[in-house]
Structure formats: structure tokens, C-alpha cells
């Protein structure tokens, strides 16, 4: 095991009194929300042209109508004109918009899951947030580095404490059960384009200190077409403290078959190490969704759990109905809302990537 450097020892000594030591933890996504944070899409290049951008915007309006019935949506827009246009469209639809809160802030892209705040809470119900560093998925897209400053601790977004570790972490790279357990991938968190020089042990220490994740299940890697180096929210998701839905490909000739089978074996091994084994459920993969010769990262695992609904990306695929049924079985008290996502996935993400929950 790699020894900690002297500089890292000093850094870890400084954070000994930080979130985990004060009882803070990252809640599970199914715990009650105060709000959902989102960004209005504006980059034509992200969606391969204006026509698809407009279709993606209509899908977001569909999502607003569903979410606003039960929880607040905090929406980042570029300017006042966007705000007025969205209000008009919602009014024309006859949908609710009183819970829609606008923030006029320039962004490079919509994927707030990866650069937005990660909220934590202590047993007394006090909230705080963690501002991790965002480097545009390993500096793949330099023009999107500006999103690292969208949620600056210097901006008065939240009346709650902020912690800001000097480490890169995207929200889509982790998933938690709210009980101190988390899922992630080696291909993303250990990639040298994120935190070069940091060992697995050092990353685990940071996740424990800032998010209260005491036990991490390390999956291997991601699906084809995923430019994030393997975000776990396309692979495996907690749906209860003891249950994990995991993407699985049955077709041996498919390029996702072996990576997903390897992840499944790791989940099985992690389950056996627990006093109470995980319930592991296979979630099918849709067939190939292509942009020319390039495969896009379509996955049913990229669902979002809101207060009363689960938003599930679907792809006009024969496996859609099976995925809907599996999600229904695990969220019997919530309404399952399929969101057509073939246009959205052209941006290389879908529903979970577009959202970030703020707990109550």
C-alpha cells in the first residue's frame, strides 16, 4: 500500500474536525428533498444542432411539470430572456411553476450533477455542502472548465456551511445508500487526469471525511461511449440501503458485456463481505444508440429518484418496458415516469446527469 506523503498527512490532519467528525453524511437520493437543482440547456454544440436542442428543452419542461407538483426546482438560466421564455412555456402548458426558482448565472453546460454542490446533513438535521473541484472530466473539454466556478463558495447560494476540498470529484462518479456505503469506479476516480498522485487509500479517506462514506465498493469501469471515464450512475445504483440495481448486458458480442460482467462479479464479492448481503438485481441495457459510428452512453441506470416520482430515461427500445417494471418493483410507492432520452443522450448524459438533489 502506498504511504501517505508528508503534505497529504498535513492536509488530512487539518480536516480531522471536518464533516465526518461532526456527524455529517451524504443522504441517499430517496431521502426527502428540499429541491432539485437543474440548468437550462443553451449549447447547440452539445446537442448537435438547434433542432435537437429544442427537443431537449421540451423534455426538460416535461421534467419540470412532474417535479414541481411535489418539490421545488432551482433552475440556472443564462439571462432574463431565458427566464421569461420558460415561464411563458410553462404557463401555456398550464403546468405548475410557483415552486420554480430561477438563478441568473452563466454556465457552460447542463451537467449539474458533476459540477454542482453535494449536500450533506448531520443527525440534528443541519445541512452543509461540499464544493469539489471540477476539471471538465479530466480536461477533455477546456471550454467547460468555467463550470468549476458556477457554485463558488464566495457566491451566496446557500445559508449553510461550505467545505471545499482541493480535489476533483464529479457527482456522477459516486452513489450512496445514506448509511455510509458508496459505489464508484476505479476507471474514473483513480484516473490520473483527475487527482494525479493520489492513491486509492487517500481518495477513500477524503470520501469518508467529507461525505461520510465509510465503505466503498470499487467497480472496474464504464460503458461504451461514456466520456467521463466510467461514471457509476450509468452502471450501478442503490435503491435501498441493501439493494443495488446493476446494469447488465446479456449479448456476449456486445462491447459492454465484459465490463459489466466484471462489475457484477465485484458487486457479488462485496456482497459476500457484508454481514447482510446486498440484494443484487440485474438492470438490462438498451440496444445501441448511435451517432454516426459513435456509440452513445445510453443506460437505464441513469434514473433520478425524486420525492414522489422516479424519472427513468427510455430509448424507444424493446428493453424499455422491462426496465420500467424493475424500477416499479423497487419503488412501489412512487410514480415511475419514463422520459424519452434518445435526444438527451446526444449530450453524453441523461436524467441523473441533469439533476442534483438538495435534501430536506
CA-to-CA distance for 216 and 38, rounded, in angstroms? 27
Residue 244 phi/psi, 5° resolution? -125, 130
Non-local (6+) Cβ contacts of 356 within 8 A are 36, 37, 38, 112, 113, 116, 117, 118, 171
Element (H, E) at 225: none
Residues recognised as catalytic = 353
DSSP secondary structure code for residue 65 in this structure? H
CA-to-CA distance for 337 and 136, rounded, in angstroms? 30
Q: Identify the sign of the CA torsion 195, 199, 201, 202.
A: negative
Q: Bridge partners of 238?
A: 244
Residue 48 phi/psi, 5° resolution? 60, 40
The CA-atom distances, in angstroms, between 357 and each of 138, 341, 354 are: 24, 20, 10
Residue 256 phi/psi, 5° resolution? -85, -10
The answer to whether residues 40 and 110 touch, using CB atoms and an 8 Å cutoff, is yes
Non-local (6+) Cβ contacts of 257 within 8 A are 249, 250, 251
CA-to-CA distance for 286 and 300, rounded, in angstroms? 7
3-state secondary structure of 251: coil
The answer to whether residues 337 and 66 touch, using CB atoms and an 8 Å cutoff, is yes
CA-to-CA distance for 150 and 152, rounded, in angstroms? 6
The CA-atom distances, in angstroms, between 297 and each of 76, 184, 270 are: 25, 17, 26
CA-to-CA distance for 164 and 135, rounded, in angstroms? 14
Non-local (6+) Cβ contacts of 9 within 8 A are none
Amino acid at each position: 500500500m502506498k504511504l501517505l506523503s508528508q503534505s497529504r498527512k498535513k492536509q488530512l490532519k487539518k480536516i480531522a474536525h471536518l464533516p465526518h467528525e461532526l456527524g455529517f453524511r451524504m443522504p441517499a437520493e430517496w431521502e426527502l428533498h428540499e429541491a432539485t437543482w437543474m440548468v437550462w440547456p443553451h449549447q447547440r454544440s452539445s446537442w448537435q444542432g438547434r433542432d435537437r436542442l429544442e427537443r431537449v428543452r421540451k423534455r426538460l419542461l416535461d421534467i419540470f411539470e412532474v417535479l414541481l407538483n411535489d418539490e421545488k426546482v432551482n433552475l440556472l438560466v443564462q439571462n432574463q430572456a431565458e427566464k421569461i421564455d420558460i415561464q411563458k412555456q410553462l404557463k401555456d402548458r398550464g403546468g405548475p411553476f410557483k415552486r420554480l426558482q430561477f438563478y441568473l448565472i452563466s454556465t457552460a453546460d447542463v451537467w449539474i450533477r458533476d459540477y454542482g454542490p453535494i449536500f450533506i446533513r448531520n443527525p440534528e438535521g443541519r445541512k452543509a455542502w461540499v464544493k469539489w473541484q471540477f476539471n471538465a472530466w479530466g480536461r477533455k473539454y477546456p471550454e467547460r472548465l468555467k463550470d468549476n466556478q458556477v457554485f463558488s463558495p464566495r457566491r451566496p447560494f446557500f445559508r449553510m456551511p461550505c467545505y471545499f476540498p482541493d480535489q476533483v470529484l464529479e457527482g456522477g462518479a459516486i452513489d450512496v445508500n445514506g448509511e455510509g456505503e458508496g459505489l464508484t469506479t476505479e476507471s474514473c476516480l483513480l484516473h490520473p487526469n483527475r487527482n494525479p498522485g493520489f492513491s486509492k487509500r487517500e481518495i477513500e479517506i477524503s470520501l469518508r471525511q467529507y461525505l461520510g462514506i465509510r465503505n466503498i465498493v470499487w467497480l472496474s469501469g464504464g460503458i461504451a461511449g461514456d466520456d467521463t471515464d466510467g461514471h457509476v450512475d450509468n452502471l450501478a445504483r442503490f435503491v435501498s440501503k441493501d439493494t443495488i440495481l446493476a446494469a447488465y448486458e446479456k449479448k456476449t458480442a456486445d462491447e459492454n458485456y465484459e465490463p459489466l460482467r466484471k462489475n457484477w462479479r465485484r458487486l457479488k464479492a462485496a456482497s459476500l463481505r457484508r454481514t447482510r448481503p446486498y440484494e443484487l438485481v440485474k438492470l438490462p441495457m438498451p440496444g445501441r444508440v448511435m451517432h454516426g459510428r459513435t456509440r452513445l452512453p445510453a443506460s437505464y441506470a441513469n434514473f433520478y429518484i425524486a420525492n414522489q416520482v422516479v424519472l427513468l430515461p427510455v430509448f424507444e427500445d424493446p428493453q424499455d418496458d422491462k426496465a420500467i417494471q424493475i424500477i416499479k418493483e423497487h419503488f412501489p410507492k412512487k410514480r415511475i415516469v419514463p422520459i424519452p432520452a434518445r435526444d438527451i443522450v446526444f449530450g453524453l448524459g441523461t436524467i441523473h446527469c441533469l439533476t442534483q438533489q438538495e435534501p430536506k
